[in-house]
Structure 1
């Protein structure tokens, strides 16, 4: 799923640059090897969007309405990218960043073909934010220090997406008939009356749980 979001961003950013859209960590060694104008979208943080978390499982049903299995709701995650421009001149880098902003800002969500196939059954669109101040627990200066490079102008781009793999619990087949045994108060004088219970719509003419079988037994 993460690599599919990478490709969605690549398609959005590609018209802004004649060179490449990269996803490498922008370290000094990487910068030294770069020999063409480049937009870099470095995935530096993955966090769950706990405000979207749902509790409890939901039921999946077949065409007849019977529960076939239960599934935990999807968990949503915020993928944070550090988008930077790399050329030989700062002025050209600023032009690249401006072009990237012009391509990203019109999109409040990723929709249509930009949504990865793996998450389309869950969400038809994915929220995207551009240049919104990061959480207080994240400092871009600290990120650059960890990368061993010098601080550069950058765009903080965040895509919020569900993770498509969720736990699934199989359920037993629905009960279609059962036998009820009725016993008297005196254990020595026990009366047994078989009675059949069928689910509504099952064969045999029963109209719902508690209906008598064709044997003629009427229950207790």
Structure 2
């Protein structure tokens, strides 16, 4: 449901901010080939999804969640990149250009799609950016679609992919059974016997062995 949720959010965002109510115009995600464009009879914003790839952004850590069965966690989620060719359609070219400029200005004003326009929550914010794609330039895309070159821009959408299932989180550490005690710096060393030393002790003017014979005579 990732892509439909993003596209529903984009449509709601454009309809509210342009504004473009349903009784006035359309927002379409159809392929803008000649078979589609010949049927367009109202002003329309078209966002054609021409590319899907894994984003170069690092995976997004997923926050743990609490359930009736206990805490759950999942692996960091990969970021997904969605590439759209955005164009405007109207009966007059000046109207197309006006609409396309309005769409671009709304995108430029919001680096992240306002979450209130999404029909369902996603694993991350939906990042928006107007970009240049040297591998897929607009004129090349229009040529591949078999249509005539028209004014358009490339929109890059980046969002976390819901790729991993939730798993039970390990129990939290609540107490420590024991701990080491550090010896203060400069403290006298423990007696030899306490340290498990060589069994040698001083007696009178010389050194003698212990009863086990481990010391010098």
Distance 1:97 1:146 in 2: 21
Q: TM-score, normalised by structure 2?
A: 0.66
1:141 aligns to 2:139 (yes or no): yes
- Pairing 1:1-220 to 2, within 5 Å after superposition: 1-14=2-15, 15-17=18-20, 18-53=24-59, 71-115=74-118, 117-119=120-122, 122-123=123-124, 125-130=125-130, 132-134=131-133, 136-169=134-167, 208=177
Residues 72 and 166 in structure 1, CA contact (< 8 A), matched pair in contact too: yes
Structure 1 alignment gaps of length 5 or more: 175-198, 202-206, 210-220
- Deviations 1:80-136 (CA, angstroms, capped at 9, x unpaired): 1111011122111111112212322211112331356342xx43x332112x212x2
How many residue pairs match? The answer is 170
Call closer, same or farther: CA 1:40–1:61 in 2, change over 3 Å.
closer
Q: Given the two structures, how large is their TM-score scaled by the length of structure 1?
A: 0.65
- Aligned equivalents of 1:22, 1:8: Cα separation in 2: 13
- Superposition misfits of 4+ residues, deviation over 6 angstroms: none
- Unaligned segments of structure 2, at least 5 residues: 179-217
The whole-number CA distance in structure 2 between the counterparts of 1:6 and 1:72 is 26
Q: Tell whether the 8 Å contact from 1:40 to 1:85 is kept in structure 2 after alignment.
A: yes
- For each residue in 1:125-177, what CA deviation from the matched residue of structure 2 results, as whole angstroms up to 9, or x when unmatched? 332112x212x222322221221111111021111100123144557x87xxx
